[in-house]
Amino acid sequence: MRQHHIVLLPGDGIGPEITAVTKSLLEAISKKHGFELFFDEHLIGGAAINATNSPLPESTLEACKKSDAVLLAAIGDPKFDQNPREKKPETGLLQLRAGLELFANLRPVQIRPALIDSSSLKSEVIEGVDLMVVRELTGGIYFGDPKGRIKTNEGERAFNTMSYSQKEIDRIAEVAFDIAKSRRKKLCSVDKANVLDVSQLWRERIESLSTNYEDIDVSHLYVDNAAMQLIKDPRQFDVLLTSNLFGDILSDEAAMLSGSIGMLPSASLGSNGPGLFEPVHGSAPDLAGLDQANPMAMILSAAMMLRIALKESKAADGLERAVDNVLAAGLRTNDLKQKGTTQLGCMDMGNALLKEI
Ligand code: IPM
Ligand code: MG
């Protein structure tokens, strides 16, 4: 029987609740499709700081490196807001991305038919939207040096550096070009080349690489305009290529097209080695323990894991179909509630999804 080893990282806030639901669905779908999943649970984020004083214990990173894929729920806890940077939950996630060299973050945005009226945008604007944000994930201002805080005569000064090497730009661009090739063959690269040197290099590299991909229709947008176009006419986009910071911002914006950030999955991939699959949303500390969270972004992330990392595409289809079926039946978590729909908690939503498998 085919066997896959998964490291599960429940993390913080609603993380453990949506992990429990996702794990039971993965167990059911693997039985149905004749393969075996082994789960190994580890600490990350605030939960890891509480237990080990580090947001990414060495044992977690080592286990992830040895796995076939890593499935993460969410990290973040306001309790650590005042901590120094190295003792914040977010640092654990950044260290994990860097430690596994996951430079390519894929964030697909599709409108699930049943949710067309859940978006804050008009249905005629979002109907048929199907785009992929390809976000650079291990460089840019998130990781650039120098960074820090210094005391000056006029008080404190703080700084970060937005920096990209040609090599870093090329490798994420190649991922985006290849994805565009398998889709509608349109690539829009996002930058701020009218102001930033780093963006000028970024744009030059995309232009230069585009000669290797003559079938791809390449365009460039400044990030401010891209933010506007995303809500004005999102159907114009196929693949959106962004740096780390711009992708962070634009992918939250793009999430709202789909009705709720609770619906958006992601995959983070390197050149080789295991990928990391996680919902785009955070740990929603205000919902933690209330059984109100939407588990679907994590379930859709698990589907991406099945398809991309484990090559179990039938099982991936099965999870996605289950999500569409419960939505079509009018079942909703709190974030998606609408007139005429039935509201369920996280666990009941999990049970409804299990029935579809
Ligand atoms: C995301 C998140 C993270 C990021 C945080 C939690 C560090 O917002 O994955 O989009 O900024 O990358
Ligand atoms: Mg973000």
Asked if residue 221 and residue 326 are part of one domain, the reply reads no
Sheet holding 69-74: strands in order across? 35-41, 2-11, 69-74, 275-277, 267-269, 104-110, 130-136, 239-242, 186-191, 217-222
Asked if residue 185 and residue 79 are part of one domain, the reply reads no
Asked if residue 250 and residue 129 are part of one domain, the reply reads yes
Among the listed residues 322, 279, 341, 353, the one whose alpha carbon sits nearest the alpha carbon of residue 115: 341
Which residues in 317-339 are b (16+ Cβ under 10 Å) and which e? ebbbebbebbbeeebbbbbbeee
Within-domain flag for 111: no
Within-domain flag for 3: yes
Within 8 A by CB and 6+ apart from 284, the residues are 13, 14, 74, 293
Residue of 90, 91, 135, 245 best suited for mutating to test ligand 1, as the one with most atoms within 8 Å of CB:
90
| The predicted structure's pLDDT at residue 259 | 80
| The predicted structure's pLDDT at residue 18 | 98
Asked if residue 296 and residue 236 are part of one domain, the reply reads no
Number of separate domains in the chain? 2
For tokens 């079938």, name the residue: 215
Separation between Cα atoms, residue 80 and residue 96, nearest integer Å: 18
| The predicted structure's pLDDT at residue 79 | 96
Asked if residue 153 and residue 124 are part of one domain, the reply reads yes
**Nearest-CA residue for atom 5 of ligand 1:** 90
Within-domain flag for 112: no
Tokens of 307: 């398809």
Among the listed residues 59, 63, 20, 61, the one whose alpha carbon sits nearest the alpha carbon of residue 40: 63
Distance 253 CA to ligand 2 centre (A): 10
Q: Which atom of ligand 1 is nearest to the CA of 248?
A: 10
The sign of the CA dihedral 192, 196, 201, 207 is positive
Among the listed residues 333, 325, 227, 306, the one whose alpha carbon sits nearest the alpha carbon of residue 33: 306
Residue of 72, 80, 86, 93 best suited for mutating to test ligand 1, as the one with most atoms within 8 Å of CB:
93
Within-domain flag for 281: yes
Within-domain flag for 115: no
Tell me if the bond preceding 146 is cis, omega within 30° of 0.
yes
The one catalytic residue in 192, 213, 238, 335 is: 192
Domain's final residue, options 258, 288, 321: 258
| The predicted structure's pLDDT at residue 148 | 96
CATH of the domain at 189: 3.40.718.10
Is there a catalytic annotation at residue 213?
no
**Nearest-CA residue for atom 7 of ligand 1:** 90
Distance 8 CA to ligand 1 centre (A): 18
Q: What is the DSSP string of 192-211?
A: -TTT-HHHHHHHHHHHHHHT
CB 82 within 8 A of CB 99: no
Within-domain flag for 210: yes
User: Which ligand has the minimum distance to the alpha carbon of residue 88?
Assistant: 1
For tokens 């498998």, name the residue: 357
**Nearest-CA residue for atom 10 of ligand 1:** 248
Domain's final residue, options 202, 225, 258: 258
Domain's final residue, options 258, 286, 303: 258
Asked if residue 166 and residue 286 are part of one domain, the reply reads no
Separation between Cα atoms, residue 111 and residue 12, nearest integer Å: 28
| The predicted structure's pLDDT at residue 118 | 85
Residues with CB under 6 A from ligand 1: 76, 90, 93-94, 248
Asked if residue 192 and residue 62 are part of one domain, the reply reads no
Averages of pLDDT over runs of 10 residues in the chain (357 residues) are 97 98 98 98 98 98 98 98 96 98 97 88 94 98 97 98 98 98 98 98 98 98 98 97 97 89 95 96 97 97 98 98 96 92 97 98
For tokens 């009018």, name the residue: 330
The sign of the CA dihedral 95, 21, 250, 272 is positive
Asked if residue 210 and residue 141 are part of one domain, the reply reads yes
Is there a catalytic annotation at residue 224?
yes
The one catalytic residue in 77, 88, 142, 164 is: 142
- Look up the pTM and report it: 0.96
Query: Any idea what the Cα angle at residue 206 is, between residues 204 and 211, rounded to 5°?
Result: 105
**Nearest-CA residue for atom 9 of ligand 1:** 280
Asked if residue 247 and residue 319 are part of one domain, the reply reads no
Asked if residue 303 and residue 253 are part of one domain, the reply reads no
Distance 11 CA to ligand 2 centre (A): 16
Within-domain flag for 114: no
Asked if residue 28 and residue 42 are part of one domain, the reply reads yes
Distance 352 CA to ligand 2 centre (A): 29
Asked if residue 184 and residue 157 are part of one domain, the reply reads yes
Is there a catalytic annotation at residue 217?
no
| The predicted structure's pLDDT at residue 151 | 98
Q: Which domain holds residue 166?
A: 120-258
The one catalytic residue in 40, 68, 178, 252 is: 252
Within-domain flag for 20: yes
**Nearest-CA residue for atom 12 of ligand 1:** 248
